[in-house]
Amino acid sequence: MINVLIVEDSPVVREFLIHIISSDPELHVIGTAHNGEEAVEAARFKKPDVITMDIHMPKMNGFDATRRIMETHPAPIIIVSGSSTFEEIATTFRAMEAGALAVVARPQGIGHPEYETTAKELIETVKLMSEVKVIRRWSKARTELTVPLVPKMEVMIPPTEIRVVAIGASTGGPMVLQTILSRLPKNFLAPVLVVQHMASGFIHGFAEWLGQTSQLPVHVAANGEYILPGHAYVAPDGFQMGVEMRGRIALSQDEPENGLRPSVSYLFRSVARVFGQNAVGVLLTGMGKDGAEELKLMRQKGAVTIAQDEESSVVHGMPGEAIKLDATTYVLSPDKISEALISLVNKK
């Protein structure tokens, strides 16, 4: 049985979420909270396996409540968002910075054509996040005092030109992608292609949120557009993303791979075929094995391949599978991945 704490200030929405979560025999609503202050106390005393969190609440909002919970009594937190515009959704991703693991849309009402699909998505996300072992986050002030100096990254500069960087991520990926992209210079000499597993409806807001801290323009990829150096392209909802020989985005509704569309495997295989040794592949935190075998394919084609290390991964499933397959040239933390990409692409 997975014990769930529901944090929501609207009585109507709160009862609606209780109804949905209680409909699954593996889930049990252990309690509710009407605002952020109550959420912090409930997390302390009820010790839930998962928390669903509203953002806009009185007394203490969802951002601050998430931060406090992750600093004191950490638990997997899922933001349940009722936001509709790209700008509002981009703001919702601030909760990732506070320690939330995932963002899902509030399910549609009973009787709506998408009710069953959206309710199932929430239930499946709760179950998946319950498997994640979260750790306590120290306050920012304390972190700044205790972070050790890290030695400079050394990478072998390949003799060939790197013409594209392909990155795949799942659970825990948004914050890692933000870290990596925010450290790349605006004169970065290759395009960056990104597949991030995410609930439907959030990709545009996600791209906008990434762009707020990145010197690289971040786009949701469009079919047929040319990929440009110093730009990042995020795969849209419901499409597989690949590349054509002429350096253009190729979107398709080919079958899901590893149950996913977009799939990291699809992107990596396409990049391996088109760019071969002129590419870098990066596999980040996430459940499952999407992209692991295809990262090895990229390495076999001569590409430089990187997996995120276990210490910095929320879930080491995808990068861990790649390491087991000997698919990686380097195993690095997010900040070191940024350093490596600058060295490999800009030859610095």
Listed by start position, the domains of the chain span: 2-140, 164-346
* Domains 2-140 and 164-346 are alike in CATH topology: yes
pLDDT at 292: 97
Per-residue tokens: 324: 């087991």
Backbone φ, ψ for residue 140 (5° rounding): -60, -45
Flag whether pLDDT at 98 surpasses 70. yes
Count of alpha carbons within 13 angstroms of residue 208, beta-carbon side: 14
Quick one: the chain helix, strand, coil %, rounded to 5?
Answer: 40, 20, 40
In terms of CATH, what superfamily is 2-140? Response regulator (3.40.50.2300)
What distance in Å separates the CA atoms of residue 97 and residue 209, rounded to the nearest whole number? 11
Q: Which of 322, 327, 317, 330 is nearest to 296 (CA)?
A: 327
List of residues 6+ apart from 329 with CB closer than 8 A: 299, 304, 305, 306
pLDDT at 150: 43
Mean pLDDT of the chain: 91
Backbone angles phi and psi of 273, in degrees to 5 = -70, -40
Given a cut of 60, whether residue 145 has pLDDT beyond it is no
Q: For residues 334-338, give the mean pLDDT.
A: 95
Residue in 279, 335, 328 with CA at minimum distance from that of residue 158: 279
Mean pLDDT, residues 188-208: 93
How far apart CA 6 and CA 14 sit, in angstroms, is 7
Model confidence band, residue 325 (pLDDT cutoffs 50, 70, 90): very high
- Whether the per-residue pLDDT at 149 is higher than 90: the answer is no
Q: Give residue 133's pLDDT band: very low, low, confident or very high (50, 70, 90).
A: confident
Lowest mean pLDDT among 82-91, 233-242, 297-306: 82-91
**Per-residue confidence (pLDDT) for residue 143, from 0 to 100:** 40
* Sheet with 304-308: strands ordered across: 218-220, 232-234, 192-196, 164-169, 279-283, 304-308, 330-332
Range from 4-8, 107-111, 293-297 carrying the lowest mean pLDDT: 107-111
83 confidence band (pLDDT: 50, 70, 90): confident
**Residue 201 clears pLDDT 90, i.e. is over it:** no
Query: Can you give the pLDDT at residue 84?
Result: 65
Alpha-carbon span 246 to 343, nearest angstrom:
25
Cα dist. 224→142, 244, 249, 251, 275 in Å? Answer: 47, 9, 5, 8, 17
Of 36-40, 248-252, 311-315, 320-324, least confident by mean pLDDT is 311-315
Residue 206 has pLDDT above 60, yes or no: yes
From the list 200, 19, 193, 47, the residue with the least C-alpha distance to 117 is 200
Q: In this predicted structure, what is the pLDDT of residue 321? A: 97
Sheet holding 102-105, edge to edge: 27-33, 2-7, 50-53, 77-81, 102-105
Does CATH number 3.30.429.10 belong to domain 164-346?
no
Task: List residues with catalytic annotation.
Answer: 170, 197, 290
